[in-house]
Amino acid sequence: EYFYPRQSRQLGLGHAVLCARPIVGSQPFVVALGDSILGLHTPSKIVERMIEEFERRDVDVVVAFEEVPDKEVVHYGIAHPRGPAGEIFELEDMIEKPSVDEAPSNLAVAARYVFSPAIFEALDHTSPGKAEEIQLTDAIQRVLSAGGKGIGLRLEKGERRFDIGNFRSFFQAFA
Ligand code: G1P
């Protein structure tokens, strides 16, 4: 069975997630962005691992990250890890689509998230940011700065995200 809300105005990714609030209620939930494909050539365990860590560490936010070259940080939400970023790391902050100079790391959001319902409260108070849209990254920032805990998980070695929102990787994904 599928349930879906309709986002009748294009107010951004954060707003789209907020539209799901009546369906999700007060449960933890996963956000998987449909324009990024994982597990295309080999099955991906990333979401399973994220849920395990979410439960084990009792955090509010878990985000999947992929290391990207400098020139690509401007297309993604970027992690500001607390200390050196191993396979799993604590999030100090996040920034949406920074310039290379602003980027605190090369770790880009790989389109999968696990959230506690605290994110809804944060989204309620998040004003439009980059591109005048309500950004999910800004709401995560809000949860973290209010004392919530967030962690990042890197995709496994050799695992790739295909961002089909750009021509090159669209064709790589479906070639
Ligand atoms: C969205 C998010 C961004 C994230 C990306 C992942 O951007 O705002 O933080 O890195 O998805 O694919 P969009 O692809 O909507 O520009």
pLDDT tens across 125-135, in order?
Answer: 999 999 999 99
Ligand 1: centre distance to CA 87 (Å): 21
Residue (of 137, 141, 175, 151) closest to 82 by Cα position: 151
Task: Assess whether pLDDT exceeds 90 at residue 72.
Answer: yes
Task: Assess whether pLDDT exceeds 90 at residue 155.
Answer: yes
Nearest CA to ligand 1 atom 9: 77
- Give the pocket of ligand 1 (CB within 6 Å): 13, 33, 35-36, 76-77, 96, 108-109, 111, 135-137, 163, 165
3-state secondary structure of 95: strand
- In whole angstroms, what is the distance from residue 123 CA to residue 142 CA? 8
Task: Assess whether pLDDT exceeds 90 at residue 174.
Answer: no
Q: What is residue 175's predicted lDDT score, i.e. its pLDDT? A: 78
Residue with tokens 């309500």: 134
Residue (of 33, 18, 22) closest to 125 by Cα position: 18
Q: Which atom of ligand 1 is nearest to the CA of 36?
A: 12
Ligand 1: centre distance to CA 65 (Å): 12
pTM of the model: 0.96
